[in-house]
Amino acid sequence: MNLLIKNAKIIDDTSSHHLLTKDILIENGVLSKIEDSIENTSNYETLKLENLHVSQGWFDSSVCLGEPGFEDRETLENGLNTAGKSGFTSIAMNPNSKPVFNDNAQIFSVKSKTQHHAVNLKPIGALTVNSDGVDLAELYDMQQAGTIAFYDYKKPISNPNLLKIALQYTKHLEGFVYSHPLEQKISGNGVMNEEKLSTMLGLAGSPNLAEAMQVARDLFLLEYTKGKLHIPTISTRESIDLIREAKIKGLQVTCSVAIHNLFFTDEMLHDFDTKYKVNPPLRTQQDIDALLEGLSNGTIDYITSDHNPLTIEDKNVEFEHASYGTIGLESAFGALNTLFSTEIAIKLLTRGKKHYQIESFSIEVGEKANLTLFNPDEDYLFDKSCVFSKSKNSIFLDHDLTGRAYGIISNNQIILGK
């Protein structure tokens, strides 16, 4: 691909051009010139966009795509196009398909179908067979096929001995174990955060304790095994305290937070709107404040959209019976850029790559073109016209956001959303 990008402000603190507005020439997928002004002597395609900014390509560590088995929710092709239009050059795909990804043939299949796409798909394999929580899946074979981690999506590992064995087994594999932070016997039938509001609304609550107990148990097992553990989408101040202590001890633990858990509190549930039903549930402002502090001091390693497409039938029912989840790729940048400065938002969208051994490319001459294109200053109402996903279950619908992705340049291809 040959392309001349005009008047782009570069946001990349690893680059000598950081915060400078430059023309960027891409030849055969490589950055060949970065200068104040570049003449288009070769008559290449020219890209000019309003208030154009560029950064290294973004990464999301928790994305569901549906296919195979749930193509009514989302397909691989449209899901990857959605990621690209939303600014992501790499995503990690959860194994909650049908069948669940729990052997090397399934991993080979999804990688083969997506290998030529602009968005780099990294499959996560199931930790246990069919994600049933009973027997370990073919972890080594899946890792050889290209799996980057092992996770029974949103399913807690109730058997502590199973997690112990998994941590021991994966110590010398490149992939690592995810453990969903929820003690189900404490959470029970809880469908929202357990606080005064849950009592007022008459909804069963899931307390902070249900998350913290599971995190504490998992960290004890991690300390015993000396393995590698990722705790996805934490939501409570207690979890942050536990993980901070574990990191001080030198344990190999990482954690993430879903963007919507930084943006909304449980107060959004007054009208029983099922778009706000997520797992973990929306918590209190005190929890959000602790999460934001955890991001700033490095206790929380990275963010995720926790993108989970669901059909109208999954959501348009009574609150207690609605499915958990929201799409989040399209709103990820706008939400983060509303909460943080643009530079911090970009760091949060890129710093998870190193944990998954995804190569980063600085915006310098000679580097591979792996770029996200965006406008950080556009204010808009996030509505269905902003949604590229096949499913429309966005928690951010009808909320004001600031900043919108234009698309990506990756794998010698360009994807634009507007």
3-54+363-416: CATH homologous superfamily? Urease, subunit C, domain 1 (2.30.40.10)
Omega before residue 68 within 30° of 0, cis? yes
What does the pLDDT average to over 352-367?
94
pLDDT for 259-314, tens place per residue?
A: 999 999 999 999 999 999 999 999 999 999 999 999 999 999 999 999 999 999 99
pTM, full prediction:
0.95
What does the pLDDT average to over 137-149?
94
pLDDT for 76-106, tens place per residue?
A: 999 999 999 999 999 999 999 999 998 899 9
Q: Which residue has the tokens 């890209």?
A: 47
What does the pLDDT average to over 134-158?
95
Residues shown for the chain: 418
- CATH architecture, range 57-356: Alpha-Beta Barrel (3.20)
Structure tokens belonging to residue 313:
């039938």
Residue 399, pLDDT > 80, answer yes
pLDDT for 229-260, tens place per residue?
A: 999 999 999 999 999 999 999 999 999 999 99
Could you give the residue range(s) of every CATH 2.30.40.10 domain in the chain? 3-54+363-416
Q: What's the pLDDT score for residue 311?
A: 96
Angle at 367 between CA 410 and CA 17, to 5 degrees: 105
**Rounded CA gap, 65 and 310, in Å?**
10
Q: What's the pLDDT score for residue 395?
A: 98
User: For residue 246, which phi and psi values (nearest 5 degrees)?
Assistant: -65, -40
Residue 418, pLDDT > 80, answer no
72 is catalytic: no
Catalytic, out of 103, 266, 306, 314:
306
Mean pLDDT of the chain: 96
> For 180-243, what is the HEC assignment?
CCCCHHHHCCCCEECCHHHHHHCCCEECHHHHHHHHHHHHHHHHHHCCEEEECCCCCHHHHHHH
Could you give the residue range(s) of every CATH 3.20.20.140 domain in the chain? 57-356
